Structure 1
Amino acid sequence: MPQLMSGSLAAIAVWLAIAPAPPVTKAQAPPIRTYQPKATENARQLQVLDQQQKAAAHRFDLAKYPISDRHLTHWQESLWAIGVLTPSQPYVFTALDNVLRLTTAPNLSDPQKAIVDTAMQVSTQLYTLKPAVYGKLKQNFVNTINLSNDPQWVAISLLALSKSASYPLEIYPLETNANDPQPADPLVNPKPSQKSNQKLVQTLIAKVKQRFPQWSQDPHLRTTIQNLQSTPPANTPNLQDLLTWQVAPNQPHLYVFCRPNRDVLCTTVLKDGNGKFVKNAAKQLWSAPLLLQSLHNLDWNFTNGRTPQGLYRMEGISRQPDDEVFHAYGQFSLVNLFLPFEDGVNSFLPSQKGKFTGSLKDYQMLLPPSWRSYAPLQQAYWAGNMGRSLFRIHGSGAALDFFGSKPAVVNPQNFDWNPTLGCLSAIELYDQRGNLLKADMPKILDALNTVGRGKIEGYLIVVDIPDPTAQDQAIPLTEIAKYID
C-alpha cells in the first residue's frame, strides 16, 4: 500500500494515495454484492477513457502546466495514467525526461519532489518492463547517479540500470567533477550484454560510493548496493523451524511462501493460536493464492515496491468504504498488516501497547533461532525503518487488462490477479455485465476471523523459497505439507 499524499487525486487515488477507511478490529462478515456496476464493460471503458484523457500529450505542456506546487495533482494524475496505459508515443519520453531532469535541480519544493518521486517510479516501470520502447530513459538514470544529491533517486536509478542491458549509454568517469553538467571523456558501452551490464553496474556503484562517502548510513543506498553486490541465497533455513515457531503465544500465523520471481503466485497456509494448521473438509491444508508483485517493478526497499519478506503484525480490517475505490481494492474489506516502526497498530506485540520500536536484534528474537541471521527475513524490519507502511491483503476491482505493462510483470498463467503497489493481491473476478464470478477475500476473512475467535489478529510471514528447477512455478501445497505433517 502506498504512502498518503496530498491533493484530491480522483482516479489515481485508488492506487497511489488514499488509505482505506479507519481500521477496525472486529472482523464482521462483509456483504457480498453479486453485481457491481463499476465492473461492467461500459464502466471499464469509461475508466480507460479517463486515463487516456489524463495521459494526453497536451497535459504535459510545460508552458501551461509548469512543474510547480500548484500543479502537483495534475502531474501526479498524468504520470500515473502513463504508468497505467504505457503509451509508446514520443511525447511520453519527452514528458518523463522533463521531470527527471529535476533530479539534479537544487532547492526543489516538497510538491516538486513528490512529482519527481512519481516520475521516478513510473519511469522505472516503463524502462525495465518495456526497454525496447523506453530505452532512452537510461541516460536520465545515469545523469541522476552522476549529479543528483538525493540518495533515494540515485538508488532507484541504480536499480533501474541493473535490471536492463538493452541500450548503450554514457557515464562519467569516476574522476569527473560531480557538479560538471557535461560528460567528460564518457565511457561507452556500444553493445550491452549481461556480462558488460554487470560490469557497468559495478562501475556505477563505485561512482555512487565516491559521491556519497557515507552511503552505508543511508538506508536506500545501503540496501540497494547490498542487493546488487550480494549473491541471492540458494536455500532457506529449515522450514519446519519456521512453521512450528510461535512469534507470541496464542497468536494465529499466516505464512506466505513465494518464489523470488514474484510474477509467480504465492502459496499460503494458516495456523491457529494453538499451533494447529487449518484444514478444509477434505483434510487438506487451507490455502489461498496471492500475488505479491509491484506494478512499478520496484524492489522491496522502495515505496510502492514489491512486498518485503519478513514479519508483519496482522490486526483488524479496513472496510472498503465505497465504489470510488472499488477499482483498487474490490468490494471486500482489507486485512491490515503493520511493519515494525509503523504507526496505527494497537499492539505489535501482544505483551505491550503500540508499535514495534526495538533494535534489529529485538526483531530477530521474534524469529526462530535458525532464521535470525537469514538476511532476507530482515527486509520487513528495514522497510519499516525506511517508512514503508499501509500494507494490506485485498482484492481488485480493476479490469484484468487495465494495466498496459501487466503482461510483462505477471506470469501469463496468473493473469486473473492484478499487481499492486506493495500489497498482497487476492483474486476477484467479474464478467462483462458486472456479475461477481470469483473472489477469495471472503474465504480469507472468514478463515482469519475463525482462528482469531471473532477478530483478526496475529502475524503474517512472507518468505521467498528459491528453486532453480521451478522458479516459474508456484510452491506446491504438498511441498509445504511435508514440513507440517
Structure 2
Amino acid sequence: MYQSMSSAAVAAIAFFVAAPLQPVKAQTPPIRAYQPKATASARDAQIFDQQQKANPSRFDLKKYPLTESNASHWQESLWAIGVLAPEQDYALQALEKVLQLTTAANLTDPQKGIIDTAIQVATQLYTLKPAVYGKLKPHFLRTIDYSDDPQWVAISLAAIAKSAVYPSANISQSQIDKLQIKVQQRFPNWSEDLHLRTTIKNIQSDRQLAKKIPIPNLTDLLTWQIAPQQAHMYVLCRPNRDILCLSVLKDRQGQFVRQNKQLWSAPLLLQSIHNLDWNFSNGRTPQGIYRMEGISRQPDDEVFHAYGQFSLVNLFLPFEDGVNAFLPQQKGKFSGDLQAYQTLLPPTWRNYEPIQQAYLAGAMGRSLFRIHGSGAAIDFFRNKPAVVNQKNFDWNATLGCLSALEIYDDRGSLLKADMPKILNALNMVGKGKIDGYLIVVDVPSPSNEPVTIAEVAKYLDPNAKN
C-alpha cells in the first residue's frame, strides 16, 4: 500500500475492508481529466496538513501519552515526520521518545503499533539522512541488545547494516558480524523466526556478492505456465529498486502481448518509502509469485492522494486471506508448504532462493499488495531524492505495492497515467475478467539502467521483432 499511517491511509484501509473484490468486470472507469485534489492549492493544503501533524507540540508525552486513545494521533504524526523529513532536533527527539519503548515490558497492542510506525520511519531517516538522524544509532543498538521483540531487533540490525555504507555511521563489517552473533545468542531459535532468519541471510548475501547464486535461465521462467489458461504478468526489476521495473504480459494462450509489433510493456516502481527490505511490513515488493485477481474500485476522492483516480489491481501472496482461488480449481488461499510453492515454478528455478520471497512474506503476514497509481504530488515525500533514482522522479515509492505513473499539473489536469493502459491490457487478455499470476524477479546487470524491451525479447523467440 502507498500510505499506512496518514489519515488518507486510514480511510484507504477501511476502503479495502469494505469494498468487495470484483473479479468479473474489470473495465476502466471514465478518466477524470480534472482532479480538484491535484491543484497547486490542494497540494499546498496537503503539505500544510502534514506540517500541522508534525508540529513539535504533538509529541508531548504528558499531553499525549502513548495510549490506545492516542494511537492514531501518534501514528499520523510520526508518518508526517517521514513525509517531511525535517532536519530539526524536534523530529529526532520525537522518534527517540518512542524508540525508548522497544525494550519496555507489558506493552499493549496499540503501543506496539505506535512503535512499529516509529521504527519504520526511523529506519527511513537513519539510512537516508544519516547526517541528521545518525543520532538514532544508539536506539537501534539498544534494541538489538535488550528488546524481546524479534521483528524490532531484525529491523534495527538491518538499519545498522544498511548504514555501514556511510563513513559517518562509523560501523565496520566486524561490528556488524558481532551484532549478528549477539542476536543469534539472544535468540537461540533465531533460525525459526522468519524476520531474524531472512535479515541475517540478507546481510550475509549483500556481503558475499561474488558467492550469490546466479539467476537461472530467464527464458525458462518467461515460457513457463504456472497454470493453463491463465494470464501471466512479469515484472522485471534490477536488484537496486531505485531503478524502474518493466512489466510485460502473456495472454491465456501463453503468447506475449504485442503492440505495434513489439512487446507490450509498462514501467513500474517497486521501492519502499521507508527504505525497508522485502521481509518487513511496508518494505519493498518481494520477488516471487502473486495471484492476480480482480480489482478494487476507486469510487471517489476520499483516498485519491494514496492511490490516484483509477482502479487498483488486487494481488495476493501465499497464505493471504481474501482470494477466491490462488490456484485454479482449488478454492481459497494457498496454504501449501515451500515444496508446493516450488512446484509452481519451472524446475530450474525451484531452488533459487530469491524467488521464494513471496512465499516467506506471505508466511510473515504481509498482505494488501496492489498495482496502483498515485494522486500525491511527485515531490510530496520530501526525502524522495534519496529514495529513488532521479530518472524515476515522476513515480512515487510505496509501502510494498507496485507504483504506476500518474501525473497532474498545477491546475489539476491529468497529464500522464499508466493505470488505464494496464487495466485495459489485463481486461483484454481476460475478456472482461482480471485473474492470473504476477511474477516479480530481479534481473542483475552491471549497468544502472532499467530492464528494456529488447533485453526481455532476447530471452524469447530469437526471430521476434523487438
TM-score by length of 1: 0.91
Amino acid of the residue matched to residue 267 of structure 1? Answer: L
Question: 1:403 aligns to what SS in structure 2?
Answer: coil
Q: How far is the alpha carbon of 1:68 from its aligned partner?
A: 1.5
Q: How far is the alpha carbon of 1:167 from its aligned partner?
A: 7.6
* Alpha-carbon separation, structure 1, partners of 2:154 and 2:20: 33
Q: Which of these residues, 185, 193, 206, is aligned with residue 218 of structure 1?
A: 193
Say whether 1:268 aligns with 2:247.
yes
* Alpha-carbon separation, structure 2, partners of 1:14 and 1:28: 24
* Alpha-carbon separation, structure 2, partners of 1:395 and 1:296: 18
Amino acid of the residue matched to residue 240 of structure 1? Answer: T
State the partner residue of 2:71.
Answer: 72
* Alpha-carbon separation, structure 1, partners of 2:398 and 2:230: 28
* Alpha-carbon separation, structure 2, partners of 1:429 and 1:167: 34
Return closer, same or farther for 1:35/1:3 CA change in 2, 3 Å cut-off.
closer
Amino acid of the residue matched to residue 396 of structure 2? Answer: N
State the partner residue of 1:24.
Answer: 22
Q: Which structure 2 residue ranges, 5 or more long, are not aligned?
A: 462-466
State the partner residue of 1:428.
Answer: 406
Deviates more, 1:472-481 or 1:384-393: 472-481
Q: Which of these residues, 200, 219, 232, is aligned with residue 175 of structure 2?
A: 200
* Alpha-carbon separation, structure 2, partners of 1:419 and 1:42: 23
* Alpha-carbon separation, structure 2, partners of 1:253 and 1:285: 14
Native 8 Å contact 1:4 1:17 kept in 2? no
* Alpha-carbon separation, structure 1, partners of 2:73 and 2:289: 37
Amino acid of the residue matched to residue 430 of structure 1? Answer: Y
Q: Which structure 1 residue ranges, 5 or more long, are not aligned?
A: 169-190
Q: How far is the alpha carbon of 1:2 from its aligned partner?
A: 7.5
Say whether 1:82 aligns with 2:81.
yes
Q: How far is the alpha carbon of 1:12 from its aligned partner?
A: 4.4
Native 8 Å contact 2:67 2:110 kept in 1? yes
Q: How far is the alpha carbon of 1:321 from its aligned partner?
A: 2.9
* Alpha-carbon separation, structure 2, partners of 1:87 and 1:331: 29
Question: 1:269 aligns to what SS in structure 2?
Answer: strand
Say whether 1:244 aligns with 2:244.
no
Q: How far is the alpha carbon of 1:226 from its aligned partner?
A: 1.0
Question: 1:323 aligns to what SS in structure 2?
Answer: coil
Question: 1:70 aligns to what SS in structure 2?
Answer: helix
Native 8 Å contact 1:135 1:166 kept in 2? no
User: CA deviation digits over 1:431-462, x for unaligned, max 9?
Assistant: 10000001000000000001111100000000
Q: Which of these residues, 429, 434, 439, is aligned with residue 451 of structure 1?
A: 429
Q: How far is the alpha carbon of 1:19 from its aligned partner?
A: 3.0
User: CA deviation digits over 1:374-406, x for unaligned, max 9?
Assistant: 000000000000000000000000001100111
Say whether 1:358 aligns with 2:327.
no
Return closer, same or farther for 1:325/1:192 CA change in 2, 3 Å cut-off.
closer
Native 8 Å contact 2:238 2:245 kept in 1? yes
Native 8 Å contact 1:3 1:389 kept in 2? no
Native 8 Å contact 1:23 1:318 kept in 2? yes
Question: 1:416 aligns to what SS in structure 2?
Answer: coil
Identity, % of aligned positions: 69
Native 8 Å contact 1:329 1:397 kept in 2? yes
Native 8 Å contact 2:9 2:303 kept in 1? no
Equivalenced residues, count: 455
Say whether 1:13 aligns with 2:6.
no
* Alpha-carbon separation, structure 2, partners of 1:4 and 1:129: 20
Question: 2:400 aligns to what SS in structure 1?
Answer: coil
User: CA deviation digits over 1:66-113, x for unaligned, max 9?
Assistant: 111221010001000000000111011111001000000000000000
User: CA deviation digits over 1:345-370, x for unaligned, max 9?
Assistant: 00000120000000000000000000
State the partner residue of 2:264.
Answer: 286
TM-score by length of 2: 0.95
* Alpha-carbon separation, structure 1, partners of 2:77 and 2:249: 41
State the partner residue of 2:453.
Answer: 477
* Alpha-carbon separation, structure 2, partners of 1:142 and 1:219: 20
Return closer, same or farther for 1:92/1:278 CA change in 2, 3 Å cut-off.
same
